[in-house]
Amino acid sequence: MENNWFNEGFNDYIAIYTLARSGLLDNKEFLSHVNDKNLRPHYTSPVGTMPGDSIMQNFFKSHFYEKLPYQRGFIYAFYLDNQIRIASGGKQTIRNFLLKLYDNNKQNKNKPITIDDFTSAIATFLPKLQVKKEIEEYMLKGTYIDFRKVKLIDAFQVRFNNNLPELSLSEAANLKKLYN
């Protein structure tokens, strides 16, 4: 359960990614999903900074815990996608990473994916030790990603409203093109 940030949150991000890529999601809907369903509720959640190993024991006791893996994973997937894009000069995305992870997993006879599998696959795109530390800090310990210190691609800006991160798009941002 503590690793459901990957199963649930990454699935949610890739669903939004695919909808934006296909043109089925406009800027307003995209921003609403990021801000209203993920950033705001996660950064105001009374359990937002709980460690990952506390999720299973509380999952069915509180809707806050039920949402935690989804929101935590979605936010990290968004962050990771941006970091891959920046590191590759826009030539690679989270999709490339997930395809690499998929190929590696096929070679491992589709065994459950571990954090080591995840970080081994990401090493093609980002420093493995950096990502391993981020997973430990953001996903397992529950520390919030501080978007004041994070660089995102030019299409995205994070502003703070009452100390809460809020994503906006640059005027020139074209989601369909960006996610294509």
* pLDDT on residue 15: 97
What is the amino acid identity at position 51?
A: P
Q: What is the pLDDT of residues 30-61, one digit of tens each?
A: 999 999 999 999 999 999 999 999 998 999 99
Q: pTM of the predicted model, to two decimals?
A: 0.96
Q: What is the chain's mean pLDDT, rounded?
A: 94
Q: Could you tell me if 166 and 159 are in contact, meaning their C-beta atoms sit under 8 angstroms apart?
A: yes
Q: What is the pLDDT of residues 55-79, one digit of tens each?
A: 989 999 999 999 999 999 999 999 9
Could you tell me the maximum CA-CA distance found in the chain, to the nearest angstrom?
48
Angle between helices 11-22 and 94-107 (to 10 degrees): 130
- Please spell the DSSP secondary structure of 31-50, one letter per residue: HHHHIIIIIHHHHH-TTTTS
| Residue in 162, 156, 158, 157 with CA at minimum distance from that of residue 174 | 156
Confidence of residue 108 (pLDDT cuts 50, 70, 90): confident
Confidence of residue 2 (pLDDT cuts 50, 70, 90): low
* Percent of the chain's residues with pLDDT above 90: 87
